[in-house]
Structures are given as structure tokens and as C-alpha cells.
Structure 1
């Protein structure tokens, strides 16, 4: 962030000590435990604790260097919302009790800042002259992960996850639903949710409710889940969609300078997050972040910490692709735990591979 602004913008919802270009947060004990919970789930191929997922995705904004194009736009993740079924009579007076969306204060402030358009080489798409001396907006995406209830035979889990992503480049909200069963009902539910939910600082900042509703796009052209069921001759557990939601989010963040980033490829490695740029990269990033925010740990304590995330043998794709990102992660900087790809002996840090069960 430019030094001309006295108060550098930092990724929310974290606190920070001092100022550094890497945006290393001062994690609370609860926040640290949430990141650990997600890391354990990724290493074991289990379902992550839902309330920890948005925080972990928000942490993906932290500890990022500046790329060749400058600072990468950020994405903000709101806590997971439960979507009740739409129940409307002819007079529309039987609405569910929708919770109010209360965005972080800094996110609301960011929505008021000018957005530098990617389409027009960084020109502002907000000509408000009063913002001339304010810092530019950092958040391109506002992301809302939803949980829907589904009643499907032969499945014990009843939760399906979808995600709504507001893109400031296009002033559009794209809703992604990767599960093929009962999509029509979920689309109706999400439409009524956005029609009636209160979201001060967001929807009223964008424009009127009618205009907001006209800017919603429903992306449901995903067939991979159905094809998996045809191959396995059995149902895919609905809650597996949490991996698809996380993958969609990571795809957006990794391609935040892509104009057509909302077109997420309908491929197996994206539905399950196996693509090397998705869950493996996310895992490596969170692991390095956790170690970076605890610089006073001894080597022995680092090893004990990393051993919690020993990757299962059957997750060969996770093991190999995580190694690639650990080798590349800030390899030009020294650190107690870092694996420096430029040094043949790994700088004495090969212990991380063994601890994680990475060949």
C-alpha cells in the first residue's frame, strides 16, 4: 500500500502489530485454532469445521507478496449463512426470519472507496471527486457461503453449500451451485434471501434493492457431481460441496485480475479442490502463515506443530502438490522452517517434508 496514506489498509478481520508489506496478523488464540482446524481437515481429507472456513479463506489475503502486476485484489468472506426455504403465499407475507448481514466496518469503508477498474487499465469506475485523496479499494470480491438443507434418500448429511460472490469489477453477484439435486428449490431460496435480507453498507451502498436483484447471475452449469454419481453408481454426499465452494473461492482469489473469473471450469479437479492451485496451495499458505506468526518457536516446537498435519498416504495429489508450493513459498527469504528450493540441502529444513509425509 502506498506510503502516502497514513493508515495502511490491512486484511480483515484480523488485528496487526506494526506495519509490514506481508500483512502478518496478530492472531488471537481462537483464530489460530480455527486455522489449525482447517489444516487438519485438509491433511486428513475430512470435512472442515464450517465456522472456521471463512476465517481461513480471509487469511489467504495475508502473508502475500506483491506480484508483478502490483498488489493483488482481496476477497472478503462473511460467516456462513443458513438459507431457510422460501415460504411465500399470494400476499408474500409468510417470509422466513432472515438474519441481518453485518459486514466488518473496514469492508463497509472499502465499499465507499474508488475501485480501480481492471478493464480500463486501473482507471476508476467511481468518479466521486470527494474520494480523490482516499486510498483505492482493495476488495474486489465479497463472498457469502451458504448452507441449504436437502432431503435426499440414501444420504445421511443434509447440508448443501453454495456461494454468492459480489464482483466489484462488474457490479454483479454470481451465485454458484455445484450440486445437481434440487437446484430449482435452492435457486428460489437464494433469490428470496437476497430480495429480503438486510445488508446495511452493502446493498444500500450498491444501489436500490431492485437494481441489486437485477445484477444477480445464477451459475448452475456444473455437471461433474452428476457424472461422478453415474460412475460410482451412488450418491455424492451433499456436504462434499464445501470443497467445491472453497475451490470456487480460491479460484477467484488466484485469478483476481482475470475479467472472466466468474466462469469457473466444470472439472473434477476443481469440484474436489485437487488442482495444484487450490487446496494444496491453500494448505501450504495456511501452514506457513501459522509458523510465520509464531517466530519465537524453537525448532522442536515447530516440528511438533507440523506433525499434526501429516498428510494421509492415499492423498498422493495433496502430498506432491503441497511440496511444490512449500518449495516456492518465499524461497528468497530466510526463515527457521522454510524450505529453500535454491539450496540443494534445503537449508537444513527438509524436516518439514518428513513431518508432513511428503515424498
Structure 2
């Protein structure tokens, strides 16, 4: 049975034209602008526009080829939420008024479908268990990026980012906090957030809130940021955690068939996203996806588009690992974005490394 029959749905929140099995979205000008903004920030080593990050991470689900093990499970990213600090009035009533989480309709429908546990498949391939529904679930991870306010001396930046990831493999939510300052307060704030926020279709109010709260894991055993400060003898900017959050998200998506993917290594290349499978791969994926969405563009127009994403020379790790990723064609075997870097192949994209200035 073909994967297109089993999985006719395509990654949200995008619209699509035709029935291309690579899931090439038909982006609006605003959506394309968000991807361009993220690409530019990665090429320049600057902080990405926050509201564009979830859309770009959702785009990482697109244009993934099938392999012998079947489709890789997807992840869905909700718009970034602001987590207010916990405050109580004189009657011990909680003051913060949390906004309601309104998931896309397709996500709510997917949550109703049966998840086929990876741990019962042996090699990670399709399960031989009878299917209760004609359409099994596609989304393993439901992800929520949070922004917290921090008051810290010697830095004017006030935003710290964390991420909550609901894993359907284990029916549990793991909250990741990679910043070492004021973790106790953030943990208290995130607990109150999930204890009170309304999320129809995700947290049903009738008796399941207590069960949901018992399924939260607080992962804070990250020490790299603290070690960096000891070495630099100066504070690491709090908003640098957006790179760590993006890296944790990409780590989950890259290892979506790993049963214990929530155990994220506490390493520098993960905190900053330098590993070739993280931000460099993400950069290459988004760039190729943008080009795939415009098949009618001339080579000259494609080059003009790519030219705006030239990677700065000071970002040697980004230049080297993006080039390595493009040249290896994702040799690890967990995704192929149609990148052809052979210079003599007119139908390929061998010109990309030259235009990006990463030869």
C-alpha cells in the first residue's frame, strides 16, 4: 500500500498545489517573508524574528522523501507563547490570565487518531498491528516555544526561551530549559501555565488535567551555558536560548524514530546549533524548499534570490557545515532535499555553494 494512500494529509499550516509527494507548499507572500527572515538571520548570525521561528520549523516537515522505513513522523509548532510570572492576590487567587491554545484543526484531528508506537515496530518501520483507523497519526511531537522574562544584572536582554514537547510515543510532555539562571522560577511559572491554560483538543478538561500534569517532565540538566560563562567570564545573553530551543526542536525532528529522543545531549554544538545536522541542515532545507516552490524561476533569478543569504566569513562553522551537508546529500539517510552540487550538471544546484560563498 502506497504511503500516499496511507498518509494523504500534508504538513500544516501550509496550503499545497497538486499532489507532489515531496510536500512542496504554496506559500503566501507573508509566509515566504518569514522563511526569508529566518534564512537571513542564520546567514548573518543574528537572532531570528521570533514570530517567524515556528513557521520555519513547521516547514522542516516539508519536502522529505520516503525511504525503506516509511515516512518520518512530523512535529507541529504552535506560535510562541509568553509565560507570565506566577503572582497571587491577597485571596491566593492566581492572577495571570493565560491565552487559550487554539491548535490547527488538522492537528486536533490527528490527535484523535491512533498513534502506532515506534517501540513495537522493531526496526522503526511500519507496524504490523491492525489499524483501528484508515488514517494513522502522523504527528509525534506537539511543540510549544515559550518566552520568559528574566531580570539579570549585566545584561539588558530580558527574554529567555524554553520549549515544551508533547511526545505521543510516551504520552508525556518534556519541558526543556537550557539557561542556568532563575530556573526555579521558570519551572514554577511553566507548571502554573500548563495547570491553568485552556487547550481544547489537547487537554480535555473532564478529569484529564490532573493526569496531564502527572505526565510532565522537567528537563533542566543543561550546564553548557554555565560553563561558557565560566570560560568567557561574562554573561551569556538570555535570548541566545532561542538557538538552543531551535536545536532541541531539530534534534527531535531528526531523530523522530528514536524512542528516547527527549534525552538531548548537553553539548555546546547543540546549545548553539553548530552541528551540521542542526542549524546548517535547517538552513539548507529552507533554502532548497524556497527554490522548489518557484520551479519557473530562471537560473539568474534563483541566483539573485540565493545571493541575499551569503554566510558571513566569521561564521566558519556555518559555512563549512552547510557546504558539507549539501555535498554529502544527507549521507546519514534521514532525508533528501534534492540538492545536487555537481558543477557540470546543468539540472542541479552546483552553483549554490559558489553563490553562498562557501566553496
Q: Deviations over 1:251-308 (max 9, x none)?
A: 0000000011000000000000001100000000000000000111111111110011
Q: How does 1:210-359 map to 2 (within 5 A)?
A: 210-329=210-329, 340-341=340-341, 343=342, 345=344, 347=346, 349-359=349-359
Secondary structure of the residue aligned to 2:140 is strand
C-alpha distance 305-338 of structure 1, shift in aligned 2 (>3 A): farther
Give the TM-score normalised by structure 2.
0.92
Aligned to 2:98: 98
Shift of the alpha carbon at 1:93?
1.3
> Within 5 A, what are the aligned runs for 1:182-201?
182-201=182-201
The verdict on how the C-alpha distance between 1:20 and 1:328 changes in structure 2, with shifts beyond 3 A counting, is: farther
- Range moving further from structure 2, 210-219 or 343-352: 343-352
**Which residue in the other structure is 2:334 paired with?**
none
Q: Is the 8 A contact 2:343 2:351 kept in 1?
A: no
Q: Aligned partners of 2:187 and 2:89: how far apart in 1?
A: 18
Q: What is the alpha-carbon root mean square deviation over aligned residues?
A: 2.2
Pairing 1:16-31 to 2, within 5 Å after superposition: 16-31=16-31
Equivalence for 2:3: 2
Consecutive unaligned residues in structure 2, runs of 5 or more: 332-336
Contact (CA 8 Å) 1:114, 1:124: kept in 2 or not? Answer: no
Q: Distance in 2 between matches of 1:30 and 1:61?
A: 19
Aligned residues: 348
Cα pair distance change 1:14/1:257, threshold 3 Å: same
CA contact (8 A) 2:3 2:70 kept: no
Alignment partners' CA distance in 1, 2:258 and 2:327: 26
Task: Please give the per-residue CA displacement for 1:83-131, whole angstroms capped at 9, x wherever unaligned.
Answer: 0001135754133010100000000000001101001115599x9xxx7
CA 1:262/1:350 → structure 2, altered by over 3 Å: closer, same or farther?
Answer: same
103-112 vs 65-74, which moves further: 65-74
Gaps of 5+ in 1: 332-336
Question: How much does 1:8 deviate?
Answer: 1.2
> Does the 8 Å contact 1:116/1:124 carry over to 2?
no
CA contact (8 A) 1:145 1:163 kept: yes
How much does 1:26 deviate? 0.6
Q: Flag the 1:344–1:144 CA change in 2: closer, same or farther, 3 A.
A: same
- 2:40 aligns to what? 40
- 223 and 93 in structure 1: CA distance in 2 versus 1, 3 angstrom threshold: same
In structure 2, C-alpha distance between the alignment counterparts of 1:232 and 1:68, rounded to whole Å: 46
Indicate conservation of the 8 Å contact 2:159/2:239, yes or no.
Answer: yes
User: SS of 2:119's equivalent?
Assistant: coil
**Cα distance in structure 2, aligned partners of 1:204 and 1:218:** 22
Cα 1:152–1:258 change in 2 (3 A) is same
Deviation at 1:338, TM superposition (A): 6.7
Shift of residue 243, structure 1, vs aligned partner: 0.1
Answer whether contact 2:84 2:189 (CA < 8 A) is retained: yes
